Amino acid sequence: MAQRARILHATYSSATNPSFAHITELPSLTSNSSMSERINYLCALRRETAILQDRINAELTQRMEDDKARQAPDSTAGKKVTVDEVAEEENYGEEIPEED
């Protein structure tokens, strides 16, 4: 059986932000691949998945910061807005109740 290249591919697109893609070729495998070839493939997949995750996190974080800057009132335009990173991490994915 001929070996085919395996691709790790992710694409992001948005109507309001620039899109990006990440494409990485992984080692080829066949049903007859040796144990060392399979191990090499899995090591490469793990390494490239971590790189992909880092890239996605960096790209989306930058887009979130850009969105926040666009939504900021004109009075804060040009000023750097500080964010409590610890609080942001603690509340990630959770709704924060409104204060009265």
Please provide the DSSP assignment of 66-96 as one string: HHHHHHS-GGGTTSPPP--HHHHHHTTTSPP
SS3 state of residue 41: helix
Q: Does the pTM exceed 0.75?
A: no
Q: 37-56 pLDDT, tens per residue?
A: 999 999 999 999 999 999 99
Structure tokens at 99: 């204060």
Query: Are the beta carbons of 22 and 55 closer than 8 angstroms?
Result: yes
d(CA 83, CA 81): 6
SS3 state of residue 30: coil
Average pLDDT, the chain: 82
